[in-house]
Amino acid sequence: MRIVVTGATGQLGRLVVDALLADPAVPAGAVAAVVRNKEKAADLADRGVELRIADYSRPETLAGAFEAGDRVLLISGSEVGQRVPQHAAVIDAAKAAGVAQLAYTGVLGGPGADFDLAAEHKATEELILASGLPYTFLRNGWYSENYTDNLAPVLAHGAVVGNAGEGRIASATRADYAAAAAAVLTGPDEEHGRHLNRAYELSGDEAWSLAEYAAEIAARSGRPIAYTDVPAETHLEILTGAGVPEPFAAILVDVDEAIGRGALAVRTGDLARLISRPTTPIGTTVAEALKVMTV
């Protein structure tokens, strides 16, 4: 039995592997990484992690990705629009191997999430349920880094722009979500069993509005920054004008509308409970992002 992490060369996947290897009960040899690019995973191999090379888009490569009894984390793919057949291929391979757990990084709200980006996650959860495999749904809320990785234009223009109105976002860091993933993949069988066939709604302890986010950046950078709420069509024009491809810009505008409806403000406490500590406040993530900026 190994703990197998797909997408292990991605930002979340690397943090999951870090969290697993930080657990004294998990030797590096107990962890396997499913990656499509061996070179990108060389550092993981150097740390003793077994590499299994496979591409979600090429089902034949997934045949050797899993073994009977493995506890598997499927990290959702990044190719929006392709993900249902890609995830279906991973689920089929996991089923054929007879894995002991298939954990999946879905989206906060699960079947009730009503925005465009949620559709592929909902379809994936349905495929996992239909497979009959023991599952754990990690329904992740928004990463704080979705915002703090984009501070340069905010500082340049003195504005956070969006169409989310006064909607609030219960975000947490990728490291918080990664720690939760590691928590549901580890432990002796009898303790681990409590994570099977259940869904966790994962989000930050505190929810914040974009106006509060702008105020946080202003306070920590010493610059005047405000939130400008614009109509959806205007936001779409601003994003495409700044070079964001139209399909992705439309997704971002749709997400802001969902935030305005409160879809990403849900706070259940599941994340803090799983990681046995409070989630990382947005102010901390803003401060860390400002520290590494050169502007």
Ligand X SMILES: NC(=O)c1ccc[n+]([C@@H]2O[C@H](COP(=O)([O-])OP(=O)(O)OC[C@H]3O[C@@H](n4cnc5c(N)ncnc54)[C@H](OP(=O)(O)O)[C@@H]3O)[C@@H](O)[C@H]2O)c1
Contact positions vs ligand X (CB under 6 A) = 7, 9-13, 36-37, 40, 55-57, 75-79, 86, 105, 140, 142-143, 146
Comparison of 10 and 236: residue with beta carbon closer to ligand X: 10
Q: How far is the CB of 41 from ligand X (least distance, A)?
A: 8
Comparing CB distances to ligand X, the nearer of 76 and 279 is 76
Q: Is the CB of 58 or the CB of 261 nearer to ligand X?
A: 58
CB of 10 to ligand X, least distance (A): 2
Find, among 266, 256, 288, 293, the residue nearest to 144 by Cα: 288
Please, what is the minimum distance in Å from the beta carbon of residue 73 to ligand X?
A: 11
Q: How many CB atoms lie within 10 A of CB 193?
A: 13
Buried/exposed 58-70: b ≥16 CB within 10 Å, e otherwise: ebebbeebbbeeb
| CB-CB contact of 248 with 154 (8 Å) | no
Shortest distance, CB of residue 104 to ligand X, whole angstroms? Answer: 10
Residue 77 per-residue DSSP state: P
Percentage helix, strand, coil for the chain under 3-state DSSP, each rounded to 5: 50, 15, 35
- Report the DSSP pairing between strands 71-74 and 3-6: parallel
Residue with Cβ nearer ligand X (45 or 218): 45
Closest distance to ligand X from the beta carbon of 214 (Å): 19
**Of all residues in this chain, which one has the CB nearest to ligand X in the complex?**
10
11 versus 284: smaller Cβ distance to ligand X? 11
The sign of the CA dihedral 208, 211, 213, 218 is negative
